[in-house]
Structure 1
Amino acid sequence: MTKYVYDFAEGGRRLTDLLGGKGGNLAEMAGLGLPVPPGFTITTDACRAYLRTGREPYGLADEIGLHLERLERQAGRRLGDPADPLLVSVRSGAKFSMPGMMETILNVGLTDATVAGLAARAGDERFAWDCYRRLVQMFGRTVRDVPAGAFEPAADGADAAALRALTGQHLRAFREHTGDDFPQDPREQLDQAVRAVFGSWNAERAVLYRRQEHIPADLGTAVNVVAMVFGNLGADSGTGVAFTRDPATGERGVYGDYLANAQGEDVVAGIRNTMPLQDL
């Protein structure tokens, strides 16, 4: 039977055709002993099968379940646990870099039942509601095609009560635009997010980018499911991009930018002004 899912411990750069550039390099770094969060990669084979038939290939759901159990053991927490929930990111990753062209969903696993557990575990109710409102917004926009304008932006400095109220608005907007309640089963969130990343391979912007960059259209994207590391836990956490050469000139050095108390979409969406990495 075709193998569709690889733990980071199983892969490496030699498998970028199957695992994509991101998945192959995450596995390579994990093999070197670098502090890579636990996770697994769903192959480009699975994506191509899905795009051909409109359905997940036979056996994929069971494989994801087995690798999810392994991830839960590594992380020491369980998806959907109301007391100490595991949250994951679901990220695209084709063989060739296509920055910003395909989809990512963060904080998968948060529900009405798990948000309180996240708040208690982190000791920060504001953080937990910030993550939940982000999930509903990203999932709605990416997975269910809810217009971005349907979700009110978070006000600067919003406290826990304001973010809880905003999450409630997001949940109502989701229901109004889709006719469904936001999924409260974390595994259903994960499965829908994986299918959305597969589908984003054929999004108009991705097709145009491949045409411009002469990237073959039949490669498909891998999907990386990774335990969340949170950049929005306060001023001493953050997110950003780093290079070991100047992307414009190739000169050696550390280059990039970052945002404190933020998650990755804040950087790529351009909704906040980033800081140069040297400021750290």
Structure 2
Amino acid sequence: MKFVYFFGNGFAEGNGSMKDILGGKGAGLAEMALAKIPVPPGFTISAEVCDYYYKNNKTYPPNLKEEVEQNLKRLEEATGKKFGDKNNPLLVSVRSGAKISMPGMMDTILNLGLNDETVIGLAKSTNNERFALDSYRRFIQMFGDVAVGIDKELFEDKIKEIKKKENVKFDHEISIEGLKWLIKEYKKIYDLAGKSFPQDPFKQLWIAIDAVFNSWMNKRAIDYRRINKIKDSDLLGTAVSVVSMVFGNMGDDSGTGVAFTRDPSTGEKKRYGEFLVNAQGEDVVAGIRNPYPLEQLKQISQEAYDELLKIFDILEAHYKDMQDVEFTVERKKLYMLQTRSAKRTAKAAVKVAKDMVEEGLITKEEAISRISTDQIDQLLHPSFDEKAKKSAKLIAKGLGASPGAASGKVVFSAQK
């Protein structure tokens, strides 16, 4: 039985219809690869493995390790880099992805494959020591939090300490010496927690794969499925995508962002998104830095911006729905990391459905079937009067994490 599906460079063993076993993320990457959209090559371990894992006392199918190693070799050939190599190391991200999108519920690890030797090779092969050290400290922190279970605040406290010492405001302003100090301090955090940071990249990979499968049954994910009435019996579990890293933190000609092919608040057909310069994906959702509007991507690379807009049109025509995408620009070259059907307000859902009928993308029947009873309920709720809003006194400004307004009690756990 096949458990691992390769994709990249215009080729994929899976496709967009295989969400059941590849998860939304893996299916999206395979489908984009087939459509010749630039995605970093990688492979997806099927959600069937997750099903097997929980039914067999957290063990894997007998041939899985061999399949993963074969696909890792294919990834080395596709990228021209070698996993664990001291001179030109292949680094990967390890990401979860179920059939139904569960944003923020399961875990991701970036920059896997770095250790005390490969970080030197990365610095030499890219001629960028600061970038290599920044990637290493990120990996040690993320691996500690996601795979080893160390409180991430312990790492954050050290970042605050070095920023205060160096009198800088943002992570990307920390000096090379500051990053070297951070890496040493991070390793001490492991020691104090009675854990060890593994230097063997293959050991790192399997610990990370374990962590993603285990995150399927973490409290956040279980609560999310319960609240959203998602039955476990309808899903095999999560798939695991192992994808070659592309770096948005290589300098001022690099960046990372998220975007919608239409405005998720109003449904208007205008490009909507944000990105950060010299950053990795987790920075965008962490809220540490204020992102730039998508338009400003032109300042990094007009070519990457134009290509992204073309890809928006390709994806909408292909999926016949508004898409939510993640992308990275590495040294002015664009890579797509994810596409999925976008969440939207009820007002936006109605407008998008109506507009797509007029654009000839979907039928009237499809448009009606896309509007849920919950969205109709939401449409009937009171909303702000636009004239009153314009004349109201502004008391504060902030970054909207989601569209709309709410009132009620503030609670800090699902049980409460």
The equivalent of 2:409 in structure 1 is none
> Residue type of the partner of 1:143?
A
The equivalent of 2:195 in structure 1 is 180
The equivalent of 1:168 in structure 2 is 184
Q: CA deviation at 1:181?
A: 2.4
1:208 to 2:242 alignment:
no
Tell me, yes or no, if the aligned pair for 1:82 and 1:113 is still in contact at 8 Å.
Answer: yes
1:147 to 2:151 alignment:
yes
The equivalent of 1:237 in structure 2 is 254
Rounded Cα–Cα distance in structure 2 between residues aligned with 1:103 and 1:268: 13
> Residue type of the partner of 1:50?
Y
**SS of residue matched to 1:253:** coil
> Residue type of the partner of 2:214?
G
Paired residues, number: 278
After superposition, what is the alpha-carbon deviation per residue over 1:122-141, rounded to whole angstroms, capped at 9, x for unaligned?
11111111000000000000
Rounded Cα–Cα distance in structure 1 between residues aligned with 2:25 and 2:270: 22
**SS of residue matched to 2:232:** coil
Q: CA deviation at 1:57?
A: 2.3
Q: CA deviation at 1:242?
A: 1.2
Q: CA deviation at 1:217?
A: 2.1
Percent identity, aligned pairs only, is 54
Tell me, yes or no, if the aligned pair for 1:207 and 1:217 is still in contact at 8 Å.
Answer: no
> Residue type of the partner of 1:262?
A
Rounded Cα–Cα distance in structure 1 between residues aligned with 2:96 and 2:184: 28
1:23 counterpart (20, 23, 26)? 26
Rounded Cα–Cα distance in structure 1 between residues aligned with 2:95 and 2:265: 26
Rounded Cα–Cα distance in structure 1 between residues aligned with 2:213 and 2:150: 18
The equivalent of 2:4 in structure 1 is 5
Tell me, yes or no, if the aligned pair for 1:19 and 1:222 is still in contact at 8 Å.
Answer: yes
- Larger deviation, residues 146-155 vs 168-177: 146-155
The equivalent of 1:273 in structure 2 is 290
**SS of residue matched to 2:18:** helix
Tell me, yes or no, if the aligned pair for 1:4 and 1:46 is still in contact at 8 Å.
Answer: yes
> Residue type of the partner of 1:259?
L
Structure 1 segments unaligned to the other structure (5+ residues): none
Give the TM-score of the pair, scaled to structure 1: 0.96
- Larger deviation, residues 156-165 vs 187-196: 156-165
- Larger deviation, residues 53-62 vs 99-108: 53-62
> Residue type of the partner of 2:54?
L
- Larger deviation, residues 107-116 vs 206-215: 206-215
> Residue type of the partner of 2:265?
A
The equivalent of 2:272 in structure 1 is 255
**SS of residue matched to 1:252:** coil
1:73 to 2:77 alignment:
yes
Rounded Cα–Cα distance in structure 2 between residues aligned with 1:216 and 1:24: 21
Rounded Cα–Cα distance in structure 2 between residues aligned with 1:251 and 1:51: 44
Query: 1:12–1:98: structure 2 CA closer, same or farther, 3 Å change rule?
Result: same
Give the TM-score of the pair, scaled to structure 2: 0.65
1:84 to 2:88 alignment:
yes
Rounded Cα–Cα distance in structure 2 between residues aligned with 1:217 and 1:261: 39
Higher relative contact order (CA 8 A, sep 6+): 1
State the Cα RMSD in Å: 1.2
Q: CA deviation at 1:41?
A: 0.3
Q: CA deviation at 1:279?
A: 2.6
1:225 to 2:230 alignment:
no
Rounded Cα–Cα distance in structure 1 between residues aligned with 2:266 and 2:23: 26
1:109 to 2:125 alignment:
no
Rounded Cα–Cα distance in structure 1 between residues aligned with 2:82 and 2:286: 30
After superposition, what is the alpha-carbon deviation per residue over 1:218-273, rounded to whole angstroms, capped at 9, x for unaligned?
42111110000001011111111011011223322211111111111111222222
Tell me, yes or no, if the aligned pair for 1:101 and 1:209 is still in contact at 8 Å.
Answer: yes
Rounded Cα–Cα distance in structure 2 between residues aligned with 1:68 and 1:158: 33
Rounded Cα–Cα distance in structure 2 between residues aligned with 1:129 and 1:31: 34
The equivalent of 1:99 in structure 2 is 103
The equivalent of 1:138 in structure 2 is 142
Rounded Cα–Cα distance in structure 2 between residues aligned with 1:4 and 1:121: 33
Structure 2 segments unaligned to the other structure (5+ residues): 164-169, 298-416
